[in-house]
Amino acid sequence: MSSLPEVTDATFESEVLKADLPVLVDFSAEWCGPCRSLAPIVEALAAEYDGRVKFVQLNIDNSRQTPSAYGIMAVPTIILFKDGEVADKVTGFKPKPVLEKHLESLVA
């Protein structure tokens, strides 16, 4: 798992849906190899977009309601939220330039 702050079913609404900034939620699991490969990319993006996008992770094994509510069928899945609504969704490992394009559309 990454060093991103973790959200849970209990904190998802306050930390993500009511956030002042757009939010990238990294839905992942400790047993997921591609999630571990994606973590350093997401952490690098978090540093680059600091102050413009909030980055958090949600462990699907610890919090099951939220992934179910958003139709998470595989990890890693990244969902970008803006103003409490789903703005974009990316499933599977993606290289940094692909994720940057998704983020740029969010902050543009």
Contacts made by residues 90-95, CB under 8 angstroms, sequence distance 24+: 92/34, 93/34, 93/37, 93/38, 94/38, 95/41
Known active-site residue 32: yes
Query: Element (H or E) spanning 59, and its range?
Result: strand 54-59
Tokens of 53: 């996008």
Which position among 4, 7, 16, 35 bears the catalytic label? 35
Known active-site residue 35: yes
Q: Which residues contact 27 (CB under 8 A, 6 or more apart)?
A: 57, 58, 60, 67, 70, 72, 75, 76, 77, 78, 79
Which position among 25, 32, 41, 75 bears the catalytic label? 32
Q: What positions carry a catalytic annotation? A: 32, 35
